[in-house]
Structure 1
């Protein structure tokens, strides 16, 4: 069995740890400040409270899971770890330092799975003394709830590293998509950016509103592609009809390569989204707990697959 650690005590690290201990496996989280460790422990505890509220876990499960969790600033506790999720910020210098620290303390055959969402796998591999033991395992937030992980290899990733990573992710009940090389945004963020660009364009042109775009996505696209895949749908419609639709739509799609004016205006006015209280929506009147719940709701059923501790 892999001995699992998470390097990074932020939101991704806390949720990754929740997933590991939620499947009955011990986990060590390495942070860098006492404040960060406290936030991490509180976040993991809140994740369990949400599961308990939904009837998906018990207080007994939570106690057993929290007992399997070590949160520390002492990197020497990586000693013996055979699989490390790297979940620090998207700072190349910091990641390079973290890779060196993991190499100093972790097991000789330890795999490093970077949770990066934007850095090329080849670039990360160049930071490694043993690049064959590195790949990207990019999760999605909330990490412990949303089952998909994008696994990205580079030209030196060994088959053993790939096989061990996929085996562990399946043990954690993750759905894996494999990419043989990096492209900016990997898969999901490429799709998301294409949608964001078109949506912002439609708002800027006065064609519709953010609320109506969200309604269209939630009650058509989101529902459709949650039961059948995007390319399954393309095949179901058929190449002939999709070709005719594309001929009508492609010429009118937004194809800007620049950041759009609505985003730049938001940055200038400091209305930058939920954290600032305003963005495309006025967040001052929104219920933060309700929003957190709605973000998790589609994934609650998958928790029933977990091998809960304390059973």
Structure 2
């Protein structure tokens, strides 16, 4: 494989490692900046494991060891000199992210693109105070980043659209099906829609209309059957638009629109619940069942990607 341009990343936690894996698998060399040298070896093992998964699933033709050999992990930001794309994936903290961008601007060219893997912070907030805010973009990945086709490329108020279009083209070469947000809005596309759904889900459970299990079952067996193929607007096209207007007029006034967080959620988090990662969530878990669900999530992610590619949008 002829190598493509070298891409820079910042942060090699779970998500950062997954992002680096995606870019490596697409044929790039990668330079990854970390805070401490102790992070390097665990990240290498994690990335090699992800690449091995991709190889076993038939999504990587080269040997995982060969591909993993294309990453350079460093604590020296000067090693990012000459990179034209650098993607940051650190904690969701505005000041921490800004500190990274300020440092990057001292070593990158004025036209190098800086991407932030933020899921909620407005890009315009992250751009404030930069020497060249026009080249900062939100690049929102889904987990696991090396498997899913999702990506949102987000412009802030100062972003130059040409940089966003460049990332869209790159993302397509990485096997993504990116969406472009031309205007900045908190939460972007999927988070805004997902959290509106979550608010109504909690409303149904907390007011005794249905259990957690019943809500999950209904969505899995309705929404879960069509949304990978169609998305909401295509689905309305497929199933008849006028009926949706009728239901909207009747249902919209009755939907939950509270501005506060659900009490049920507050209580769970206060009790230490993190989900399958600590076997404490909305459902009861043993350590073994939590591990089984984590594996099922990865297996399903591969299967659903293959199904989505069979019905690829044109």
Q: Please report the TM-score for the alignment, with normalisation by the length of structure 2.
A: 0.89
Where 1:222 maps in the other structure, the secondary structure is helix
Which of 81, 84, 88 lines up with 2:83 in the alignment? Answer: 81
The structure showing larger relative contact order (alpha-carbon pairs under 8 Å, at least 6 residues apart) is 1
Please state how far the C-alpha of 1:82 moved relative to its aligned partner: 0.9
The whole-number CA distance in structure 1 between the counterparts of 2:283 and 2:142 is 23
On the 8 A contact 1:145/1:296 being kept in 2, the answer is no
Structure 2 SS opposite 1:226: coil
Q: CA deviation at 1:243?
A: 2.2
**Alpha-carbon displacement from aligned partner over 1:98-148 (angstroms, at most 9, x marks no partner):** 112211223342110111111111111113111111111111111111111
Q: Distance in 1 between matches of 2:161 and 2:297?
A: 38
- Give CA-to-partner distance per residue, 1:20-48, whole Å, 9 cap, x none: 11011100111112333233222212212
Q: Which residue of 2 aligns with 1:247?
A: 249
- Cα displacement string for residues 125-180 of structure 1 (whole angstroms, at most 9, x for unaligned residues): 11311111111111111111111111111233224312321221111121111112
Which residues of structure 1 form unaligned runs of 5+? 305-311
Deviates more, 1:282-291 or 1:123-132: 282-291
Q: Following superposition of structure 1 onto structure 2, how do residues 65-104 of structure 1 map, counting pairs within 5 Å?
A: 65-104=67-106
**Aligned partners of 1:57 and 1:166: how far apart in 2?**
22
Report the Cα offset of residue 181 of structure 1.
Answer: 1.5
What is the CA–CA distance in structure 2 between the aligned matches of 1:234 and 1:297, rounded to whole Å? 26
Return closer, same or farther for 1:184/1:151 CA change in 2, 3 Å cut-off: same
Q: Name the counterpart of 2:210.
A: 208
CA distance in 2, matches of 1:167, 1:300: 25
| Structure 2 residue 123 is matched with structure 1 residue 121 | yes
2 CA distance for matches of 1:131 and 1:23? 28
What is the CA RMSD across the aligned residues, in angstroms? 2.4
Q: How many residues align structurally? A: 305
Q: TM-score of the superposition, structure 1-length normalised? A: 0.89
Q: Which SS does the other structure have where 2:184 is aligned? A: coil
Tell me what 1:283 maps to. 285
Q: Does the 8 A contact of 1:120 with 1:183 survive in 2? A: yes
Contact 1:145 1:300 in 2 (8 A): no
Whole-angstrom distance in 1 between the partners of 2:224 and 2:244:
19
Confirm or deny that 1:12 pairs with 2:19. no
User: 1:132 touches 1:158 (CA, 8 Å); kept in 2?
Assistant: yes
Greater helix percent: which structure?
1
Gap change, CA 1:104 and 1:166, over 3 Å in 2: same
- From 205, 225, 228, the equivalent of 2:227 is 225
Decide which moves more: 215-224 or 76-85: 215-224
Using the alignment, how far apart are the partners of 1:159 and 1:76 within structure 2? 28
How far does residue 283 in structure 1 lie from its aligned partner after superposition? 2.5
Q: After TM superposition, give the deviation of residue 302 of structure 1 in Å.
A: 4.9
Asked if residue 31 in structure 1 is aligned to residue 34 in structure 2, the reply is yes
